[in-house]
């Protein structure tokens, strides 16, 4: 039986900094003395490097982790086209299934103290005709960390995502506010509303970061409780 902690990291939308936040979580865990790894079960958008498809987000997660577990384990499904995963999978003749992902996660959990499993896009993004990330998170039985991209509309997106997580019987372990819009108005008021309405603790506020330095930003984070 796996004894290491693991969480599923989702976001309020695409391009809101899930990978950045996941890298920050990795650095925060490593700073606490933990062996930390991340996983990108499904990535859409890759280039050929040394004869294989490689996704940029997967490389970032690899670099931020405690050690190299192998890209095949970190990223079991790597699709070439930078489009919705279920469309890319259909075009490339790939059927995305839980068991290869579960097996890869088990390998990571056997080597690390904690593992962060990063989705793609939002919580309910499809992976196939009758399969999506929400189903994957439920089948892996992982608590969820929600990355909220702080921009106009984020409150509705965050609350709907929290409802979707609860509807699948999963625990929202915490949420991270990522300040992706340097021009956003009333940030403090938006944060206060989210803190009041989201049924989970705020793990930290990641500052607007034009330098893209998740290691520095990690000092703003608290790790979720492993329950």
CA-only gyration radius of the chain, Å? 16
Answer yes or no: 18 catalytic: no
Instruction: Tally helices (H) and strands (E) across the chain.
Output: 9, 12
Name the active-site residue from 18, 27, 40, 107: 40
| Residues 150 and 38: beta-carbon distance below 8 Å | no
Which segments within the chain are labelled E, that is strand?
5-11, 36-39, 42-44, 47-49, 52-54, 77-79, 114-122, 126-128, 131-132, 144-149, 172-178, 202-206
Task: From 85, 68, 176, select the one nearest 126 (Cα to Cα).
Answer: 85
Which sequence positions are flagged as catalytic? 40
């Amino acid at each position: 039986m796996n004894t290491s902690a693991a969480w599923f990291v989702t976001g309020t939308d695409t391009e809101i900094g899930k990978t950045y936040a996941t890298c920050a979580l990795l650095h925060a865990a490593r700073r606490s003395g933990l062996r930390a790894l991340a996983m990108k079960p499904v990535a859409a958008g890759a280039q050929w490097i040394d004869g294989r498809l490689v996704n940029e987000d997967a490389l970032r997660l690899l670099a931020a982790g405690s050690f190299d577990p192998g890209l095949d384990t970190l990223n079991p499904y790597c699709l070439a086209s930078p489009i919705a995963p279920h469309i890319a999978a259909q075009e490339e003749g790939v059927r995305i299934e839980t068991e290869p992902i579960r097996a890869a996660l088990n390998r990571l959990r056997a080597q690390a103290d904690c593992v962060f499993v990063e989705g793609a896009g939002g919580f309910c993004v499809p992976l196939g005709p009758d399969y999506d990330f929400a189903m994957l998170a439920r089948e892996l039985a992982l608590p969820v960390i929600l990355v909220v991209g702080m921009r106009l509309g984020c409150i509705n997106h965050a609350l709907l995502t929290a409802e979707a997580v609860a509807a699948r019987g999963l625990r929202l372990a915490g949420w991270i506010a990522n300040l992706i819009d340097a021009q956003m108005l009333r940030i403090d008021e938006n944060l206060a509303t989210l803190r009041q309405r989201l049924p989970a603790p705020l793990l930290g506020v990641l500052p607007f970061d034009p330098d893209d330095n998740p290691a520095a930003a990690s000092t703003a984070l608290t790790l979720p409780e492993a329950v």
